[in-house]
Structure formats: structure tokens, C-alpha cells
Amino acid sequence: MSMRMGRPSVLKRVTRAGGQAGAGAYTAVLSLVVLGASGAIGIALTSPWLFPSLGPTVMLIFGSPQEKASRPLNAAVGHAVAIVAGLICLYLFGMAGKPPAPVGGPTPGYVLAGAVSVALTAFVLHVVKLPHPPAGATTLIVSLGIIATPPGILSMAAAIAFTIVAGWGINWLLGERLRRGLG
């Protein structure tokens, strides 16, 4: 049992007291805090600090902190691989510099870039044994040209790092500890 100073973590206590609703409230409130902070940073910097793959990342971090896929290493490597795979596919299929898929519409190049980037991300994360399913959304965001400029990619990476550090820092402060092992 994860304990801090002899007490179960806040997540375990709210789950014991409120069942699934207690665990859901823990996940919801802390997801709101971290994503709200990330969004506020994005507003202040006028850059993309809030995007779809951060939602499932915080849901894993707060809702399933003991799962391998929610560990900080898995999240960091997963999103990093996803960004690289997305960029490779964006350029490989000739879609760099074109209007993003949601604006310009689906094209064979975007379909290939998106599908191959997810497959590549899934393959690499499986091989290195560091699963993080939200990375599938990150690679689509990049390979479909939604966030694909150098400043956008840097902002995306910074937002991912912030989300991981803030999420696990909050969990740690509330007594939640990781399972043993790095990956």
C-alpha cells in the first residue's frame, strides 16, 4: 500500500470513502487543475499548451497512477516518440507546410501520414516496453499538421513535460507512490 507518514494516499482514502465517485472526483479535480494551469500558460505565452493528448495523459496519471502506462517515464518517452514519428511521417508523405488536415481536408498524404505515424509509435513503444496510449493522439496531432511548426513542437514538448511533472508532483504530495521499476 502506498503510504506517506503511515497514512494511505489521498486517492486511496477518497476511493475508500466514496468508492468510484471518490476516485472519479480525485481524477476530475486534479485533471482540471493541471490542464487549467497548462492552458493558462498557453494563453500567457500565446502558444499551444493545451491539446487533445494531454487529456488522456492526466486521466492516466490521476486515475490509474499504479499502471505502467501512466508512469512518468512511459509518458515522456511515449510522447517524445510520438512527436518524432509524427514529424517523420509529415515530411515523408509530403504534407509539411500544407494546411492542416482539419482545415484542408483529408488527403491520401494525410491519411498515410496519420496511419503510419500511429503504427510507428505503437511499434516503438511496444519494442521498448514503455506503453503510453495517449501518445497515439500526439502523433496524429503532429502528422496531420495540427501542431507541426518548430515553435509549436517546442511548446507541445514543454506542455507535455509540465503536465508530467505537475501531475506526478501533485500525486506525490498527496501520498501516491509509483510501483517499483523505471518502465
Q: Taking a C-beta distance cutoff of 8 angstroms, is the pair 61, 176 a contact? A: no
The pLDDT value given to residue 8: 87
CA–CA dist 134, 69 (Å, integer):
9
CA–CA dist 178, 161 (Å, integer):
18
pLDDT tens-digit map of 123-161: 999 999 999 999 999 999 999 999 999 999 999 999 999
User: What is 80-119 written as a DSSP string?
Assistant: HHHHHHHHHHHHHTT-TTSPPHHHH---HHHHHHHHHHHH
pLDDT tens-digit map of 21-34: 988 999 999 999 99
Q: Average pLDDT, stretch 53-80?
A: 96
